[in-house]
Amino acid sequence: MDRRTKIIATIGPATNSPQVLEQLIDAGMNIARLNMSHATHEDVRADVQTIRRLSAEKGRHVGILMDTQGPAIRTGDLAGALDLSPGQKIALTVRGEVSEEVQSVDVNYDQLVEEISIDDVVQVDNGNIQLKVLEKHHNHLTCEVLTAGVLGSRRHINLPGVRVNLPALTEKDMDDIKLGIEIGVDFFAMSFVREADDVTRLKGILDFNQAPQQVIAKLEDQLGVSNVDEIIDAADGIMIARGDLGIECPYEELPIIQRRVVKHCIRQGKPVIVATHMLESMIKSPSPTRAEITDVANAVFEQADAIMLSGETSVGKYPVKCIEIMDRVARRIERSGGAGYGAEVAPYDDYGEMVKSACRLAAEVDATGLIVFTETGRTARYTAWHRPQRSPIYAFTNDETVLKQLSLPWGTRAFLLDFDEKDPSANLVAAMAQLRKADLLARGDAIVSVTEVFSQGKLVDTVQMHRVE
């Protein structure tokens, strides 16, 4: 049986050669992530072309996700790295003011002084350096260093609990999105989504450009978590970006947030990705820690649609091995069962209820597979929504864009098929023939299908059970 949980790998200097990309695909990468915080447009064009070519050669429909940088607050450029020790003073300056402090660094957020308070803690470089605000001046903050560290140029800044007044999409994001539309990526991951209107804005841009990409909203701060249900409704999927989220929220809350968001996504029928620090030690080490294995296993047990690798595959020493380990862990955990959140799903409409009945029938007859036909991806996503345990979902579509977007939903394997609009039964015959050719079906296997039939001159949606002859 195919692995149900999809694997997303970030492409970077360690993996952007054709040879390594081919190895990632062979190892089980389902979606390639392009991180626009670091990737250049030239790199992205080359990577997309190579991934599309290799996918076609191998008959593997690898999706491509472009991850926008978003409204990131960063330190400016430094002539040399600053070696910081606890108790030292440092100034965070805005609008280029030169502070009289011994050490200072500029910050790209003009409203920093106005929006932060005395005694607030500024988290720099993914929380590795912590600075406590002592004084507020016209154009700079005087801070005390709480944790030792080396501060380099353009380090990321988090302001836990502070509502940051930055646009949802920056000028850089707009340029990157324009590129993504042009080269035909499959998904946009929108960084630092704080409310549903952020997603609506990006969707409006895509609609204006008649672009088919789906929008994955990244949860990275407390405000996004507090608005999670509205964001889930607005987005095509959710990414639990645990790096920034783990800085913005208390550590002990992070597992609870992850479980709650996964559960809510499954209940609302939206794909969910668990991301960041899954095999972090393997950036340098050939073996994961046992805690990392348990972390991956928990995300698989919760039945997230996908699990994601970041630095492990973009700059790590063992990118292919990371995919192989994730694949191995996911397959084993899937055999042991899941959290069962799909049992709590309440479909939106009659069609959803019909798909639910197909999943129930497949379980009762121990079907070898569920066959669905879809022009938009809706039927396949409805089926994945219920997390059928024993029957893989075989989705047949006549649209290449939908084919690649179905690289994300849990338990779904997609195939391209030219639909016979006059005779729906011919589509089922052709689909089963494809599955037989791929050795996914054998004589005597039970198959449940969601398809159309003619009844009294009209097409009617039906659930059918077949035995392979």
Q: Which residues are identified as catalytic?
A: 33, 74, 218, 276
CA-wise closest residue to 262 among 298, 227, 222: 298
Residue 160 backbone zone (phi > 0: left; psi -120 to 50: alpha; other: beta):
beta
C-alpha 27: how far from chain center: 19
End-to-end CA distance of the chain: 21
How far apart, in whole angstroms, are the C-alpha atoms of residue 456 and residue 352?
Answer: 24
How far apart, in whole angstroms, are the C-alpha atoms of residue 466 and residue 149?
Answer: 64
Helix (H) or strand (E) holding 203: helix 196-208
E strands present in 82-193: 82-84, 89-93, 104-106, 121-124, 129-136, 140-145, 149-151, 156-158, 187-190
CA 51, 56, 62 angle in degrees (round to 5)? 50
Q: Which DSSP state fits 281?
A: G
How far apart, in whole angstroms, are the C-alpha atoms of residue 394 and residue 13?
Answer: 34
Strands 63-67 and 73-74: unpaired
Residues with Cβ < 8 Å from 408, sequence gap 6 or more?
A: 6, 30, 31, 63, 187, 214, 237, 271, 273, 305, 306
Q: Can you name the residues that pair with 149 across neighbouring β-strands?
A: 84
How far apart, in whole angstroms, are the C-alpha atoms of residue 289 and residue 407?
Answer: 28
The dihedral built from the CA positions of residue 337, 338, 343 and 345, taken in this order, carries a sign that is negative
